[in-house]
Structure 1
Amino acid sequence: MAMNAGRSILQTRTALAQLLQVDNANDIVFTSNTTEALNLAIKGCLREGDHVVATMIEHNSVRRPLEYLKRIKGIQVDYIPVSAQGILDLAELKERVTSQTRLVVCAHSSNLLGSILPVEEIGKIAHAAGALLLIDAAQTIGCYPVDVKQTGADMIAFPGHKSLLGPQGTGGLYIRPDLELEPLLHGGTGSQSEAVEMPKVRPDQYEAGTLNTVGIAGLGSGVRTVMEYGIEKIYQHEWQLTQQLMQGLLEIKGLTCLGPELGVPRTGLVAFTLEGWDAAEVAFRLDRQYQISVRAGYHCTPLGHMSAGTTGRGAVRASVGYSTTVQEIEALISAMKQIAQ
């Protein structure tokens, strides 16, 4: 039974390595979510006085660990401006990344704006200065190409429960083979139990305690399904539906869609505001009157709302997935037209 459980975990790790173009599956460690993965990456590589460059669309799972280390270890953090459409100022990024910079961290795609950042270019800027690149792939893995070799990423944090079609409580972190991080957790691994310190072998070094075997098995099934569908097919489906959704919503007087304009690449979400309406009230009515689930508020990214100019009022966010249908998009557009009237 233990061997079968171990095989299931290994199969999921191997499938993820194939998806990310990782040579050694043991360079992918499992976590309970993207937040834990980002904490392991950030706290595991930064030391007292280090300099970090991030962007103005980062999720709190990046911002809060950085601000925590800023307070207790005196690290320095620069947040690079992003336009309301989600375009990163690469010139300022290049200026801020210096020989003193230890880490550049960026969201591959904004969980508010849906914009996609040029991680390959960001990686080149980081590596030219000798800095590490950490990518938050929460919004892209499973629905947009995330390739370790192409991006040159030193670390990639990802969730299992979004476009990888796995259950909640699963996620992981890719760590470059020659990069050593300080473990976030210390405890039992089932290997080298006689040693006082954590094992130095991967993935045991970063996987203290009993793994979520059932969840990881479910994640493996999701990853294999994604690879069976094909990333390009998934992206095109979501792209067409987001464009349809934006076209319909933009016909509504007083409604503003955030992020990239029509026709510009984005991931499968559309955040919007409706003049004269509180975002939470719109979400409540969509849920209770139309049985449509959306997310309202700050979406754990106050930096993103500062970039979008929606601080103080938040936004409504509709997320599109591979299982979303044209009929569901039409239902949301129709519901919003009725609410606006």
Structure 2
Amino acid sequence: MTIYLDNAATSFPKPESVYRAMDQFARTSLANPGRSGHKMALASEHALDNARHRLNQHFHGKGPDRFIFTLNGTDALNLAIKGLLNPGDHVITSELEHNSVSRPLRGLEKAGVISLTKVTADDTGTISPDDVRDAITPKTRLIALTHASNVLGTVQPIEEIGKIAREHNIVFLVDAAQTAGVLPIDVQALHIDLLAFPGHKSLMGPTGTGALYVAPGITLRPWREGGTGGDSVSEVNPTEMPFHLEGGTPNVVGLVGLTAGIDYVEQRGLHTIHQHEVDLVERLWKALDQIPAIQVFGHRNHAKRVGTLSFRSELLPANELGGVLDEAFTIAIRPGLHCAPFVHRGQGSFPEGTIRVSPGAFNTEADIDTLAQALTEIHS
């Protein structure tokens, strides 16, 4: 059986309760929500309402209707970025971003729509709030930052940056792909205006799920328009949230799974899950300390990390080492640039990239010890 250590990409396995909830719903209630008045359609509508309610509770939002269902985190980020920005706007982002943030912003910059400032991280993989403050101009409309690097695992000081954004009346967008489900996120306390996240990572839902939180007072143009079920008369998408930003049939069965995933995460406890994952990272790090040919990236303060560790080997390129681990040892990790090339440029690991190991809630010390032994054998 494969030892799966690629949870930063997608969590696996899911809790058994997620599989059961999706299977039962798909077999009994999977109709089109809001499009019909029959019982199955109403059950689907209730499932969506329940998912929004649970998301609002989990992230301490201003109301369930502020959560927009999306295909994934990338979809949510595109909805936020392209729905907000106008010609002439200035945006502040960082070199730590995933391509889900970098590419839409760079595309708008290349098209001459916006200007862009990319704040650099220090050698520990952390952004300075002062650098963000210094980058602000009279035209700054948006600060778009990751909560934690998907390569280095380093958690960024978003509360301090959120205060800076609020002081200057700048919209603050946070990519919580690596933190939703392992770190507590209170959008109000952290001054977050737009929170984008997938459902398929640490929230334990299936692929094809995600959401965008849109704070009151933030107006976005729709990313997609179409059927909204309850309003078939308006010539354009209705202005009422969440339907203003949702069009077409949602992934109801997936969102049922996401709701069950949130229930699991909260029952087990975010702190418990986070501590379990960073303990496994530290266990691996100690083993890597004994292999001189391996270099680990990022700081070692696990209170300010998520359970992701990146390293490179002097003996083998990342892609080759990843292939050996997969084929010879049946261990699944992710080698390469991790859809975040600017991180690797900043850390000096471009263009080869690194090996990324990301244990999840269901990994064990034995999984880590097997990986450590494999790396020791490869480097002996």
TM-score > 0.5, shorter chain as reference: yes
Q: Provide the rounded CA distance (Å) in 1 between the counterparts of 2:360 and 2:348.
A: 26
The superposition leaves residues 181-220 of structure 1 with CA deviations (integer Å, 9 ceiling, x where unpaired) of: 0010011111221111111111111110000111111111
Deviation at 1:90, TM superposition (A): 2.5
Q: Provide the rounded CA distance (Å) in 1 between the counterparts of 2:146 and 2:115.
A: 19
Q: 1:168 aligns with which of 183, 189, 207?
A: 207
Q: Quote the residue 2:26 is aligned against.
A: none
Q: Does the Cα contact within 8 Å between 2:147 and 2:178 map onto a contact in 1? A: yes
Q: Provide the rounded CA distance (Å) in 2 between the counterparts of 1:118 and 1:69.
A: 26
Letter in 2 for 1:306: R
Q: Does the Cα contact within 8 Å between 1:97 and 1:126 map onto a contact in 2? A: no
For residues 302-341 of structure 1, what are the structure 2 equivalents within 5 Å? Answer: 302-341=341-380
The superposition leaves residues 146-198 of structure 1 with CA deviations (integer Å, 9 ceiling, x where unpaired) of: 11122110000001010000001110100002211001001111122111111
Q: Provide the rounded CA distance (Å) in 2 between the counterparts of 1:133 and 1:48.
A: 18
Q: Does the Cα contact within 8 Å between 2:88 and 2:139 map onto a contact in 1? A: no
Letter in 2 for 1:57: L
Q: Secondary structure at the match of 1:201?
A: coil
Report whether the alignment pairs 1:47 with 2:91. Answer: no
Q: Quote the residue 1:35 is aligned against.
A: 74
Q: Quote the residue 1:94 is aligned against.
A: 133
Q: Provide the rounded CA distance (Å) in 2 between the counterparts of 1:91 and 1:119.
A: 12
Q: Provide the rounded CA distance (Å) in 1 between the counterparts of 2:280 and 2:304.
A: 12
Q: Quote the residue 1:234 is aligned against.
A: 273
| Runs of 5+ unmatched residues, structure 1 | none
Report whether the alignment pairs 1:256 with 2:257. Answer: no
For residues 4-83 of structure 1, what are the structure 2 equivalents within 5 Å? Answer: 4-83=43-122
Letter in 2 for 1:315: T
Report whether the alignment pairs 1:279 with 2:318. Answer: yes
Letter in 1 for 2:191: G
Q: Secondary structure at the match of 1:268?
A: coil
Q: Does the Cα contact within 8 Å between 1:33 and 1:158 map onto a contact in 2? A: yes
Q: 2:154 aligns with which of 100, 115, 118?
A: 115
Q: Provide the rounded CA distance (Å) in 2 between the counterparts of 1:72 and 1:158.
A: 26
Q: Does the Cα contact within 8 Å between 2:280 and 2:368 map onto a contact in 1? A: yes
Cα root mean square deviation, aligned? 1.1
Q: Secondary structure at the match of 2:304?
A: coil
Q: Secondary structure at the match of 1:271?
A: strand
Q: Quote the residue 2:262 is aligned against.
A: 223
Q: Does the Cα contact within 8 Å between 1:298 and 1:314 map onto a contact in 2? A: yes
Report whether the alignment pairs 1:187 with 2:226. Answer: yes
Aligned pairs, number? 341
Deviation at 1:262, TM superposition (A): 5.5
Q: Give the direction of change, closer, same or farther, for the CA distance of 1:290–1:51 in structure 2 (3 Å limit).
A: same
Q: Provide the rounded CA distance (Å) in 1 between the counterparts of 2:363 and 2:237.
A: 44
Q: Provide the rounded CA distance (Å) in 2 between the counterparts of 1:75 and 1:270.
A: 34
The superposition leaves residues 251-285 of structure 1 with CA deviations (integer Å, 9 ceiling, x where unpaired) of: 11110111112556210111110013110111111
Identical aligned pairs, as a percentage? 38
Q: Does the Cα contact within 8 Å between 1:191 and 1:199 map onto a contact in 2? A: no
Deviation at 1:73, TM superposition (A): 4.3
Q: Which moved more, 1:243-252 or 1:167-176?
A: 243-252
Deviation at 1:84, TM superposition (A): 3.0
Q: Give the direction of change, closer, same or farther, for the CA distance of 1:174–1:82 in structure 2 (3 Å limit).
A: same
Q: Quote the residue 1:138 is aligned against.
A: 177
